[in-house]
Amino acid sequence: MAVLCLILFGILQVSYLVAARNVINYSAVATARAAAVGMNDFMLHKVSHYAAIPAAGPIYTPQGFGRERPAGESTGAVWDNAISRKRNPRSQLGDYEVGVKEAYHLAGVTRFFNILDYENWQRDESTVHGDYIRDEDDLLTVRVRQRVPLAMPFSKLFFARNRTVKAHRNGEMDIYPAAQLEATVVIEDHSAFYLHTDERLLMEF
């Protein structure tokens, strides 16, 4: 039974790692697209984080996600009640995609993490980092990287301990092995098209 558990958790951790790698790849693409239309570095910082939410760990802000099962006689009814702010006012799931997303992207430097924040974003060693480079050939290079905690049970038996991060899981702070994930995207930089207008461009339209 112990060996079976080790194999099972090992498979789950590897599966999570593969999914996290895909998330970081997506974050790099989303950030590159935002940069290509002229978003400033602060907006790119927010885009890279928002696109990497599936690898961000447990939610930290907003608070109010309870562990009690919402009422409902069927799976559909339970889901409807879970995302309904009227029936479950402590939950912010009801307006997550609209209200929280909009407020997050519109927020300034000092308060955007007060709107939406996750456990892995709490520490510099495990949060998302991005580099945005524009060269003279109208090419844009975006690099997104994150050191993702591997917090499945027995993960310390499967992964090297020379690369670790602190992570808060199940109410306790611990040190976990980590995977350094990185994705690089190179695309054409179209920001000048969106940010500058001249007479020739006006004549074309």
pLDDT, tens digit (0-9, with 9 covering 90-100), for 115-137:
888 889 988 889 999 999 888 77
Looking at the DSSP bridge assignments, the partners of residue 147 are 180
Q: What is the pLDDT of residue 83?
A: 52
- Alpha carbons within 13 angstroms on the beta-carbon side of residue 37 total 7
Under 8 Å between Cβ of 182 and 145 = yes
Name which of 133, 132, 122, 120 is nearest 179 in CA terms: 120
pLDDT, one tens digit per residue, over 135-172 is 877 899 999 999 999 888 777 777 766 688 888 776 67
Sign of the CA dihedral running 24, 18, 127, 146:
negative
Tell me what pLDDT residue 89 has: 47
Contact 87, 70 (CB under 8 A): yes
Share of the chain above pLDDT 90, in %: 26
pLDDT at 11 over 50: yes
Beta bridge partners of 143: 131, 184
CB 144 within 8 A of CB 191: no
Rounded to an integer, what distance in angstroms lies between the CA atom of residue 161 and that of residue 141?
32
Q: What average pLDDT does the structure give for the chain?
A: 78
Would you place residue 23 in the very low, low, confident or very high pLDDT band (cuts 50, 70, 90)?
A: very high
**pLDDT value at 57 more than 90:** no
Strand order in the sheet with 139-149: 128-134, 139-149, 172-188, 164-169
Q: 75: pLDDT confidence band, cut at 50, 70 and 90?
A: low
Which 8-state DSSP code applies to residue 109? T
Q: Do residues 160 and 177 make contact, with C-beta atoms less than 8 angstroms apart?
A: yes
Q: Comparing 108 with 44, which gets the higher pLDDT?
A: 44
From residue 54, give the alpha-carbon distance in Å to each of 17, 41, 188: 11, 22, 27
For residue 34, the one-letter residue type is A
Between residues 156 and 28, which one has the greater pLDDT? 28
Per-residue confidence (pLDDT) for residue 70, from 0 to 100: 57
Predicted TM-score of the model (pTM): 0.75
Alpha-carbon distance of 202 to 69, in angstroms, equals 58
Tell me the C-alpha distance between 151 and 139, whole Å. Answer: 38
